[in-house]
Structure 1
Amino acid sequence: MALSSILSPEAVKVFSAVSSKKRLFQEIGDVAQSAYGLDPQATVEALLDRESLGPTGVGHGVALPHARMPGIDRVIGLFLMLEKPIDFGAVDRQPVDIAFSLFAPEEAGVEHLKALALVSRTLRDASLCAKLRANPDPSTLYTLLTESHSLAA
């Protein structure tokens, strides 16, 4: 599995004015609608339901909000860069400025976990995260994300 198989260029965005986790989820819902045709309200509700089980902020400024949703046929991803980090309840208590959100079909078991592991491994690379933070252009971000994994694979 490659990041390019779950992330479309239209699903990579940079936001300058996201003030909270809930507002970030609303932005994710809007991007999910425009990039993949998902219902934005259902997307936000799925993320909030998953987040109620425990925060998906994994540390070092990175969050991996994810959920299973009806009506999708494969794992899909969205990448959001925040110009101003927000409190996310991350494990290391650091504010988040990188969010990679994944959505999987309700019945997807191992594919969802493989995608989550791939994104987690990719964003654990401190030099990649530094490059992402230094390049706030969505097309450059997409290239960095999709090429970084092909080189690492």
Structure 2
Amino acid sequence: MELAHLLTPGAIRVCNAVKSKKRLFQDLAETAAAAHGLDEAVAIDALQERESLGPTGVGHGVALPHARIDGIERVRGVFIRLDRPLDYGSVDRAPVDLVFALFAPRDAGVEHLKALALVSRTLRDPAVCAKLRANEETDKLFAILTQQTDTKAA
């Protein structure tokens, strides 16, 4: 699996002045609706439901919100780079500025876990995160994310 299988260039945004997790989830859902045809309200509810089980901020300024929803055929991703870090309630209490959300079919099982592991591995790399933080153009962000996956593929 590669990130290019989960993302499209239209599923990447740079957001300014996001001041709450609720607003972030709205932006993620709007992007998922536009890029992947997901129902915006369903996506927001699913993200909030999953987040209520525990925070998806994994540390070092990275969050990986994810949700299972009905009505999609395969795992889809959305990436948002925040101009200003957001207090997200991460495990290390650091604010978040890189957010990669995954939306999976309710019965995705292993496919969802593989996608989550891939995204986690990619965003655990400090060099990748530094490149993402240094760019604001969505096409460059897409290239950074998808090129990184290709170099690690075996």
**TM-score category by the smaller chain?**
over 0.9
Displacement, 1:37?
Answer: 1.1
Query: Residue 149 of structure 1 aligns to a residue in which SS?
Result: helix
How many pairs are equivalent?
Answer: 153
Displacement, 1:39?
Answer: 1.1
Report the counterpart of residue 6 of structure 1 in structure 2. 6
Report the counterpart of residue 18 of structure 2 in structure 1. 18
Q: How many Å separate the matches in 2 of 1:33 and 1:122?
A: 24
Query: Which runs of 5 or more residues in structure 2 are unaligned?
Result: none
Report the counterpart of residue 63 of structure 1 in structure 2. 63
Q: How many Å separate the matches in 1 of 2:111 and 2:152?
A: 19
Report the counterpart of residue 41 of structure 1 in structure 2. 41
Query: Residue 120 of structure 2 aligns to a residue in which SS?
Result: helix
- What fraction of aligned residue pairs are identical, expressed as a percent? 59
Report the counterpart of residue 136 of structure 2 in structure 1. 136
Q: How many Å separate the matches in 2 of 1:83 and 1:133?
A: 9
Displacement, 1:136?
Answer: 1.0
Q: TM-score, normalised by structure 1?
A: 0.99
Report the counterpart of residue 86 of structure 1 in structure 2. 86
Which portions of structure 1, spanning 4 or more consecutive aligned residues, are displaced by more than 3 angstroms? none
Deviations 1:50-85 (A, max 9, x none): 000000000000000000000000000000000001
Query: Residue 83 of structure 1 aligns to a residue in which SS?
Result: strand
Q: How many Å separate the matches in 1 of 2:29 and 2:94?
A: 24
Query: Residue 12 of structure 2 aligns to a residue in which SS?
Result: strand
Query: Residue 11 of structure 2 aligns to a residue in which SS?
Result: strand
Q: How many Å separate the matches in 1 of 2:118 and 2:78?
A: 14
Displacement, 1:140?
Answer: 0.1
Deviations 1:23-42 (A, max 9, x none): 00000111011101111111
Displacement, 1:15?
Answer: 0.3
Report the counterpart of residue 115 of structure 2 in structure 1. 115
Letter in 1 for 2:25: F
Report the counterpart of residue 29 of structure 1 in structure 2. 29
Report the counterpart of residue 72 of structure 1 in structure 2. 72
Report the counterpart of residue 105 of structure 2 in structure 1. 105
Query: Residue 111 of structure 1 aligns to a residue in which SS?
Result: helix
Letter in 1 for 2:128: L
Letter in 2 for 1:32: A
RMSD: 0.5
